């Protein structure tokens, strides 16, 4: 057969290894300073949408991935990115239906809390990861 060619060889530096050790050593995996930094970095990465949802603000977003998925079902209004009139229509819709939008804002806040707060969802992710590893190993 010939020489084995690896699909990919991992490149893990001492800096990355030390980062893992620094995260695990204090024992605060889901609530420590690294989590606070991650949440802050993630909010910067994801933009203000998750932060706005978490504070109960109503969201009007373009219907471009990953915004609809991040927003969740019925937690805001979506418009086509090329439809300026559609955006204006969504703004008027919010202004004309304050009570309905307030309910959606509360729903949006709960959705952000349930799906994006790391201290709430980290355990579920860890459990899913362990299931996947066990399935792969056998």
CATH code for position 107: 3.40.50.2000
Check if the beta carbon of residue 68 is closer than 8 Å to that of residue 61. Answer: yes
Look up the domain containing 107 and give its range. Answer: 30-137
Instruction: Tell me the whole-structure pTM to 2 decimals.
Output: 0.46
Q: Which residue has the higher pLDDT, 32 or 80?
A: 80
Residue 35: both structure tokens together: 């989590």
The candidate with the shortest Cα–Cα distance to 78, out of 104, 59, 50, 51, is: 59
Mean pLDDT across 114-134: 77
Residue 75, φ and ψ in degrees, nearest 5: -105, 5
Q: Is the pLDDT of residue 103 over 70?
A: yes
User: Number of folded domains in the chain?
Assistant: 1
CA angle 22, 125, 112 (to 5 degrees): 100
CA atoms within 13 A on the CB side of 29: 8
């Amino acid at each position: 057969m010939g020489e084995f060619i690896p699909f990919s060889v991992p490149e893990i530096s001492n800096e990355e290894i030390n980062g893992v050790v620094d995260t695990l050593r204090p024992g605060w995996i889901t609530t420590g300073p690294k989590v606070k930094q991650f949440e802050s970095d993630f909010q910067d990465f994801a933009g203000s949408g998750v932060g706005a949802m978490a504070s109960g603000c109503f969201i009007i977003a373009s219907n471009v991935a990953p915004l609809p998925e991040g927003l969740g079902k019925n937690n805001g209004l979506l418009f086509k990115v090329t439809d300026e009139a559609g955006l204006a229509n969504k703004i008027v819709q919010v202004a004309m239906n304050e009570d309905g939008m307030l309910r959606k804002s509360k729903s949006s806040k709960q959705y952000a809390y349930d799906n994006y707060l790391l201290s709430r969802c980290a355990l579920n992710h860890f459990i899913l990861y362990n299931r996947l590893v066990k399935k792969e190993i056998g």
